[in-house]
Structures are given as C-alpha cells and as structure tokens.
Amino acid sequence: MRRKPAFLIIDMQNDFVSSHAVLPVAGAQAVINPLTYILSLFREKHLPVFHIVRVHEPDGSDIELFRAEKFRSTPFAVRGTHGAAVIDELTPLPGEHLIEKIRMSAFLGTNLDLMLRTLEVSTVVVGGVQTPNCIRTTVFDAMALNYETILVDDATGAQTREIHDANILDMKNIGVQILSTADISSWLNSC
C-alpha cells in the first residue's frame, strides 16, 4: 500500500520565532531553512500541508491554567495579532491548511484528524517548535491515531539541544521514524 504523507508545521509563529518574539524558542531560528526546504518539496509534489498555530482569545479565557499567569504578564499568540501569524518565510499559500489550536497537541480540539482522513493521509511528517511540548504531544497523538509518524530532527527545535535530543530519543523509542532534512527528498520519492 502506498503512503500518502502530509506535512505538519507546528507553531512557527512570530511570537515564538521572530527576532521580536515575546516567548522566543532558542532553537527556532535554526529550523526555518530546513522547514522551508521541506515545504518546497511538499508544494512541488502537491501534497497536503498543514500550518498548525496556537491562537488565544485576548482575555486569555482559553489558556491552560498553568500558563494563565504567564499569559496575563506576557500575552502571546493572541488572535488577530502579528504575533499569532505564521512567520513570513513559511506563509501559507492558497490550498494549504491553517489549523488553530489552544492546547499543545495539534489534534486536541481541532478538526486535524478529520481533515487528514478525508484527504486519505496515512503518514504525517512533523517539524517546528518546540520539541518537548507541542511537537511531542502532536507526535504521540498521531501515533495513537495510527498515523505513520515521521519527525524531522533538524527541522524541529527546542530551548536547548539536550532537551531536544532527549525528546527525540523518547519518540524514536515508541516507533517514530526520525529523519533529517537531507533524507526527505528520497523518502518522498519512495512514497
């Protein structure tokens, strides 16, 4: 059976990635070029692309309890703001999907699973930020929902390399296939 992949780009938003980010992820800048390259491959092959973004109400009424105080002092990913938007380098094109989430997993409380199944996607390729939180929960949920799951190591970032590597090892140990950006072109050609 041939696989049909989709590319999930997680939380590559101005508030986390740009030089003016209010909650910067230290490893985010390093993943922009790998993500841009992978995105170009998916676009060339007309494969589904999902830009997954965290978006919150201005009053913080939909924020997690453990982040409520942080949000009050430093609002982030507020609906309708420049900070909540995808960074310019990865701006979604017409036909690409934008999924808003209010929790770490791209699957929790969204229509992502329904859309992937409607598009007959069997495999998700995941990149973005940040590895121990939104990447990891999305990957674990994808595995639980029976998607073949590919994580692109150098297209995924965290606050430190040590945190990133520890989480990559955990995901590899549950069956996530770990690839590098250099592997993606030949992997896509095998689909």
Alpha helices per DSSP H over 51-135: 68-73, 112-118
Contact predicate 177/151, CB 8 Å: yes
Determine, yes or no, domain membership for 79.
Answer: no
Residue pLDDT, tens place only, 93-121: 999 999 999 999 999 999 999 999 999 99
In which residue are the tokens 């109400």 written? 57
Percent of the chain with pLDDT over 70: 99
Determine, yes or no, domain membership for 70.
Answer: no
Determine, yes or no, domain membership for 38.
Answer: yes
What is the rounded distance in angstroms from the CA atom of residue 187 to the CA atom of residue 191? 7
What is the rounded distance in angstroms from the CA atom of residue 111 to the CA atom of residue 17? 25
Query: How high is the pLDDT of residue 115?
Result: 98
Determine, yes or no, domain membership for 104.
Answer: yes
Q: Decide if pLDDT at 159 tops 60.
A: yes
Give the distance from CA 175 to its chain's centroid: 19
Query: How high is the pLDDT of residue 88?
Result: 97
CATH of the domain at 170: 3.40.50.850
Average confidence score pLDDT of the chain: 96
* Lowest mean pLDDT across 2-6, 7-11, 40-44: 2-6
Q: Range of 165's domain?
A: 5-53+87-189
Query: How high is the pLDDT of residue 2?
Result: 74
Determine, yes or no, domain membership for 114.
Answer: yes
Percent of the chain with pLDDT over 90: 97
In which residue are the tokens 């982030």 written? 76
Q: Decide if pLDDT at 91 tops 90.
A: yes
Contact predicate 167/132, CB 8 Å: yes
Query: How high is the pLDDT of residue 3?
Result: 87
Determine, yes or no, domain membership for 58.
Answer: no
Our count of domains for the chain comes to 1
Query: How high is the pLDDT of residue 1?
Result: 54
pLDDT band at 143 (very low <50, low <70, confident <90, very high): very high
Determine, yes or no, domain membership for 68.
Answer: no
Residue pLDDT, tens place only, 28-71: 999 999 999 999 999 999 999 999 999 999 999 999 999 999 99
Determine, yes or no, domain membership for 94.
Answer: yes
Q: Decide if pLDDT at 87 tops 90.
A: yes
